[in-house]
Structure 1
Amino acid sequence: MKEIPPTPESFGMIAAATDRLLAGLAGLDDRHVGAPSRLPGWTRGHVLSHLARQAPALERLLEWARTGVPTPQYAGRAARDAEIEAGAHRPAGALVADIRETADRFLRTVEELPAPAWQATVRPFTGELCTPRRILVIRIRELELHNVDLDLGYGIADIPEAARQIILDDVLGYYAEADGVPDFVLSDREGALLGRFGTGGPVVSGTTADVLAWLAGRSAGRELHSTAKLPVLPPWL
């Protein structure tokens, strides 16, 4: 499970990802909001609603860390999905304003979290036990990948290298522990090892952007090179 330290650099990475997202939303109108996103079954409105509601959900985990009182990120998947659906059909201006407000509040919360709280143990919606340092990774990952999912011209290759590496490490960590992962070796275009799953299997290589897109389910992997048939991965998250 990828975690990063609560440093000004980490907070700045979240702020910069938020700024890129908001810049891409400039000029968004209600017609654009109702159009399909790259995520099956979700409009852009669903993606935006999810991003807006995720910030206070992660803040609940930070409150857990601060107080020691278990505070779930969501009451359950049905509650989470209903919350996203309820907000997905709002006007574009309301959705963008919600994202801006909740993102600002989230950033203030992490910046003001007391030092001891960063060592506490919490459990995100995905089930792993972690410290709030992982919440920083989750927020960076969600901001960047869902910006891509909006299909507004922002791609995996546009994610800054430092943020892209954090997300790639996180996804690789998931597959290192997931069930049903076939045997294969993963490398970058220069041949540097990125991951080894099982024993043997084909060698899959490509740019870090293309590798991340494939692993995160944002690409079928046609841009990658494989020494045999490209492995079929279990779904990520």
Structure 2
Amino acid sequence: MKELDPTTASFGELAAAARRLLAGLGPLQDADVGAPSLLPGWTRGHVLSHLARQAPALERLLEWARTGVETAQYTDRRARDTEIEAGARRPAAALVADVRETAAHFQRAVEELPAPAWDVTIRPFTGELCTPRRVLVIRLRELELHHVDLAIGYGFRDIPATARDIVLDDVLGYYAEADGVPEFTLRDDTGAELARFGTGGPVVTGDRAGLLAWLAGRASGDALETTGRLPALPPWI
């Protein structure tokens, strides 16, 4: 389970990811936000609504860590989905402003979180026990992957190497603990072994951006090299 220490560098990764996203949102018009995203069933408006609403949801976890009072990220999945749906059809300017303002508020919240709070145990919506260090990874992952999902010209190869590798490590950590993962070994295009699942199966090789796209369910994996049949992965979160 990937975590990031609360350092200036970690905070900088979050801020930079938000800046990249907001720069890409600049040209969006009302008709653009109603167009499909790369996520089945979601328009760009749904993705933007989710990103905006996720920031205060994660702040609720930070509040839990700060106060010691259990505060759920979301009441339940229905509440989460209703919240996203309610905001998805707003005009482009309103959606972008919401993403901008909530990202800035979240950035202040993590940078101002007291040192003792970073070691408090919390539980995100996904159910794992962790500390707020995990929240930094979750937010970075969501900013980068959903930037790609918006289909506005930002792809996996545009994600800077440091952020890309953090997200890749996070996805691999999920599969290391998930049920139903077939046996295979993952190598990048330098030959470095990134992960081994089981003791057999094919070796899957590709550049890290391509591997991340496949592991995150955003690409078929056809561009990857494999010594056998490409493994069928269980759904990622």
Instruction: Please classify the TM superposition score into its range, dividing by the shorter chain length.
Output: over 0.9
Task: Give the aligned partner of residue 180 of structure 2.
Answer: 180
Letter of the aligned partner of 2:33 in structure 1? V
Q: Secondary structure at the match of 1:109?
A: helix
Q: Matches of 2:139 and 2:160 in 1, distance apart?
A: 15
Deviation at 1:223, TM superposition (A): 1.1
Q: Matches of 1:100 and 1:26 in 2, distance apart?
A: 11
Counting aligned pairs with the same residue, the percent is 73
Q: What are structure 1's unaligned runs of at least 5 residues?
A: none
Deviations 1:20-58 (CA, angstroms, capped at 9, x unpaired): 000000120110000000000000000000000000000
Task: Give the aligned partner of residue 43 of structure 2.
Answer: 43
Deviations 1:169-218 (CA, angstroms, capped at 9, x unpaired): 00000000000000000000121100000110000000000000000001
User: For residues 115-134 of structure 1, what are the structure 2 equivalents within 5 Å?
Assistant: 115-134=115-134
Deviation at 1:146, TM superposition (A): 0.2
> Which stretches of structure 1, 4 residues or longer, exceed 2 Å deviation after superposition?
none
Letter of the aligned partner of 2:37 in structure 1? S
User: For residues 1-237 of structure 1, what are the structure 2 equivalents within 5 Å?
Assistant: 1-237=1-237
Letter of the aligned partner of 1:24 in structure 2? G
* Count of aligned pairs between the two proteins: 237
Letter of the aligned partner of 1:75 in structure 2? T
Q: How high is the TM-score relative to the length of structure 1?
A: 0.99
Q: Matches of 1:231 and 1:91 in 2, distance apart?
A: 41
Deviation at 1:97, TM superposition (A): 0.3
Q: Secondary structure at the match of 2:196?
A: strand
Q: How high is the TM-score relative to the length of structure 2?
A: 0.99
Q: Secondary structure at the match of 1:129?
A: coil
Q: Matches of 1:82 and 1:46 in 2, distance apart?
A: 11
Q: Matches of 1:209 and 1:114 in 2, distance apart?
A: 35
Deviations 1:83-121 (CA, angstroms, capped at 9, x unpaired): 000000000000000000000000000010000000000
Deviations 1:108-167 (CA, angstroms, capped at 9, x unpaired): 000100000000000000000000001000000000000000000000110000000000
Q: Secondary structure at the match of 2:138?
A: helix
Letter of the aligned partner of 1:125 in structure 2? F
Q: Secondary structure at the match of 2:26?
A: coil
Q: Matches of 2:86 and 2:98 in 1, distance apart?
A: 13
Deviation at 1:67, TM superposition (A): 0.5
Deviations 1:62-82 (CA, angstroms, capped at 9, x unpaired): 000000100000000000000
Q: Matches of 1:128 and 1:36 in 2, distance apart?
A: 31
Q: Please tell me the root mean square deviation across aligned C-alpha atoms, in Å.
A: 0.4
Q: Matches of 1:112 and 1:49 in 2, distance apart?
A: 25
Q: Matches of 1:36 and 1:93 in 2, distance apart?
A: 18
Q: Secondary structure at the match of 2:72?
A: coil
Q: Matches of 1:27 and 1:171 in 2, distance apart?
A: 31
Deviation at 1:9, TM superposition (A): 0.7
Q: Matches of 2:17 and 2:180 in 1, distance apart?
A: 32
Letter of the aligned partner of 2:114 in structure 1? P
